[in-house]
């Protein structure tokens, strides 16, 4: 009886400590701060802790720490940024300065920003001052895709100055790929069921009017809104786009964290 009472007392004690204490959550790299925690942006680049959690769509695990893979500009980040279009790998180890490879994937459709440049090599091509992934994604990208593309639902309602990418996508861009490109803006759907007419996006600085009309017909899918490189303005950058200047902080330089 005495043992049982002691056990209950210990359980109550442990529970109350867990409730009273906020758990530290590990992060690495810059990331937005949830509105409930004050909002804004955390500019700590090295491994650090907060007492708030990270969501599964915008963060990836990097050796036990949460690494932000979303668009920082959507959350008010005003530092150096680089335009990308469509899905692509992120070499997290290169960004944070680790030697052991850790490649994660960004599933943001259409033009968006990151604060890092991609690694040099044939897998990325620059066109219209934006990076396009032209490599072949591995199975891990494909497997996670159905869940991870939900990140786009997070960004759709956010009004911010997205990059303007008006050039045709380079040959081999993942968004034009018969398999991987589906749903990324331009998709070639084989036994087609859905045809969506061009999505019209009207942008003025700070205001986005987004009209998206779906007219079902049998064979073809063309969804120009977020992916087609042929002259569709997806957003205004409010004069803040900084071109394709290499982010020297990350280029060819191993950061010591």
Partner 1 sequence: MRSLVLLLALASCSKDDGTGRGAATGELSRDRIVEAWKKGGLTPTPLTAATTPVGKDCQSGTVNGVDVLVCQFATPDEAKTAEAKGLEWVGEATGMAQASGKVLVAASDRRKSDPSGRTINQLMKLSK
Kindly write down the DSSP assignment for every residue of 199-249, as one continuous string. PEEEEETTEEEEE------SS----TTTS-TTT------TT---TT---TT
Least distance in angstroms from the C-beta of 39 to partner 1: 9
Q: Closest Cα partner for 102 from 113, 93, 89?
A: 93
The nearest distance, CB 249 to partner 1, in angstroms, is 11
Give 58 or 223: the residue with its C-beta nearer to partner 1: 58
If the CB atoms of residues 66 and 109 are measured against partner 1, the closer one turns out to be: 66
Q: List interacting residues with partner 1 (CB under 8 A).
A: 21-22, 24, 30, 33, 38, 40-51, 256
* 15 or 24: CB nearest partner 1: 24
Q: Where are the alpha helices (DSSP H) in 21-91?
A: none
Phi (first) and psi of residue 136, to 5 degrees: -105, 120
Least distance (Å) from partner 1 to the CB of residue 23?
9
CB of 59 to partner 1, least distance (A): 16
In the bound state with partner 1, the residue whose beta carbon lies nearer, of 98 and 123, is 98
Q: Where are the beta strands (DSSP E) in the chain?
A: 25-28, 31-32, 41-42, 47-50, 59-62, 65-68, 82-85, 88-91, 103-106, 111-114, 124-127, 130-133, 200-204, 207-211
C-beta of 189 vs 257, nearer to partner 1: 257
Closest approach, Cβ 148 to partner 1, in A, equals 27
């Amino acid at each position: 009886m005495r043992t049982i009472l002691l056990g209950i007392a210990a359980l109550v004690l442990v529970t109350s400590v867990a409730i009273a204490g906020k758990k530290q959550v590990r992060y690495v790299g810059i990331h937005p701060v949830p509105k409930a925690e004050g909002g804004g942006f955390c500019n700590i680049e090295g491994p650090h802790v907060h007492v708030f959690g990270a969501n599964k769509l915008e963060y990836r695990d990097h050796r036990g720490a949460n690494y932000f893979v979303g668009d920082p500009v959507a959350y008010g980040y005003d530092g150096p940024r680089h335009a990308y279009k469509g899905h692509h790998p992120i070499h997290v180890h290169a960004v944070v300065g680790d030697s052991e490879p850790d490649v994660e994937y960004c599933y943001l459709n259409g033009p968006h920003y990151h604060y890092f440049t991609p690694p040099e090599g044939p897998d990325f091509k620059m066109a219209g001052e934006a990076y396009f992934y032209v490599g072949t994604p591995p199975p891990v990208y494909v497997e996670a895709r159905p869940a991870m593309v939900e990140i786009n639902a997070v960004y759709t309602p956010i009004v911010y100055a997205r990059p303007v990418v008006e050039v045709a996508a380079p040959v081999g861009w993942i968004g034009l790929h018969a398999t991987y490109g589906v749903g990324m803006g331009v998709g070639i759907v084989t036994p087609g069921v859905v045809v969506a007419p061009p999505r019209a996006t009207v942008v003025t600085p700070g205001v986005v009017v987004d009209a998206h009309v779906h007219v079902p017909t049998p064979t073809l899918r063309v969804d120009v809104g977020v992916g087609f490189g042929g002259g569709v303005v997806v957003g205004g950058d409010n004069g803040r786009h900084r071109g394709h200047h290499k982010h020297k902080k990350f280029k060819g330089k191993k950061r010591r964290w």
